[in-house]
Amino acid sequence: MRRLMVEENVGGAMNIRSPRLMIAVFLICLLAIPVIGFSQGPPALNAEEDPTVRFGCTCHGNAAPGDRAIVMITGIPVMYETGQAYEFTINVADSVTLSGSDGNTEAGFLFSSNAVGEFSWDESQNLRDAVDNEDDVSHSEPGSGTWTLIWTAPAEDVDSIHFWLVGNSVDGSDLPDEGDYWNILTFTINAPGTIVSGDSDATLQTRTIAVGDYDTLFLVEESEAEKRAEAQKRLSDAIFSKGNMFYWTTLTALIVGAVYQREILERRYGPGPEHLAMELAYPQGIRRSLTSIIAFAIAVDWTANSSQTDFFIGIVWFIAFWAAYGVYRTYRSAMVEATVPDVM
pLDDT at 10 over 70: no
Q: Is residue 102 part of a domain?
A: yes
| pLDDT exceeds 50 at position 6 | no
**329 and 251 in one domain?**
no
User: In the chain, pLDDT over 70 holds for what percent of residues?
Assistant: 79
Residue 190: the pLDDT is 92
pLDDT for 90 equals: 95
Do both 213 and 243 map to the same domain?
Answer: no
Of 131, 116, 127, which Cα lies nearest the Cα of 164?
Answer: 116
Q: What is the mean pLDDT of residues 169-193?
A: 85
Same domain, 57 and 196: yes
pLDDT > 90 fraction of the chain, expressed in percent and rounded: 28
Do 254 and 182 fall within a single domain? Answer: no
**Range of 322's domain?**
271-344
Domain-ending residue, one of 195, 217, 239? 217
CA distance 180 to 107: 9
Assess whether 284 and 197 both reside in one domain.
no
Using the CB atoms, write b or e for 233-264: b if 16+ within 10 Å: eeeeeeeeeeeeeeeeeeeeeeeeeeeeeebe
Structural domain contains residue 22: no
206 lies in the same domain as 103: yes
Average pLDDT over every residue of 207-235? 75
Distance (Å, whole) CA 261 – CA 263: 5
DSSP state of 121: -
CA distances from 186 to 129, 162, 167, 168 (A): 19, 7, 11, 15
Which position has the higher pLDDT, 185 or 40? 185
Residue 29 domain-assigned? no
Distance in Å from the first CA to the final CA of the chain? 160
pLDDT average, residue stretch 159-168 = 94
Residue 59 lies inside a defined structural domain of this protein: yes
Of residues 273 and 80, more confidently modeled:
80
For residue 58, tell me if it sits in a domain. yes
Mean pLDDT throughout 65-72? 87
Q: What is the mean pLDDT of residues 243-260?
A: 86
How far is residue 38 from each of residues 41, 66, 173, measured CA to CA in Å?
A: 6, 19, 11
Q: Give the separation between CA 70 and CA 214, rounded to whole angstroms.
A: 9
pLDDT of residue 28: 47
Residue 61 has pLDDT above 70, yes or no: no
Tell me the per-residue pLDDT of 34-51, one tens digit each, with 9 for 90 and over: 444 455 667 878 777 888
- Contacts of residue 265, defined as CB under 8 A and 6 or more positions apart, other chains included, come to none
- Give domain status of residue 187, yes or no: yes
Domain count, the chain: 3
Mean pLDDT score of the chain: 80
Q: Which of the four pLDDT bands, split at 50, 70 and 90, describes residue 343?
A: low
Q: Are residues 118 and 136 in the same domain?
A: yes
Q: What is the CATH number of the domain that holds 193?
A: 2.60.40.10
Residue 328 or residue 206, greater confidence: 328
Last residue of a domain, one of 197, 232, 266: 266
User: Is residue 261 located within the same domain as residue 163?
Assistant: no
Residue 180 predicted with pLDDT over 90: no
Q: Is 184 helix (H, G, I), strand (E, B) or coil?
A: strand
- pLDDT of amino acid 8: 46
Residue 103 sits in the same domain as residue 229: no
* In the predicted structure, residue 286 carries a pLDDT above the cut 50: yes
pTM: 0.52
Q: Are both 178 and 295 inside the same structural domain?
A: no
Of residues 299 and 201, which shows the higher confidence score? 299
Of 71-85, 161-175, 213-227, the range with the lowest mean pLDDT is 213-227
Give the mean model confidence (pLDDT) for residues 277-300.
91
Q: Running DSSP on this structure, what letter comes out for residue 337?
A: P
Note whether residue 2 is domain-resident: no
Residue 14 has pLDDT above 50, yes or no: no
The pLDDT-based confidence of 249 (bands split at 50, 70, 90) is confident
How far apart, in whole angstroms, are the C-alpha atoms of residue 150 and residue 10?
Answer: 64
Chain centroid to Cα 121, Å, comes to 31
* 83 & 204 share domain: yes
pLDDT category at 89 given cuts 50, 70, 90 is: very high
Reported confidence tier of residue 290, pLDDT bands at 50, 70, 90: very high
Are 71 and 191 found together in one domain?
yes
Phi/psi class of residue 216: alpha, beta or left (left: φ > 0; alpha: ψ in -120 to 50)?
Answer: alpha
Question: Is residue 188 domain-resident?
Answer: yes
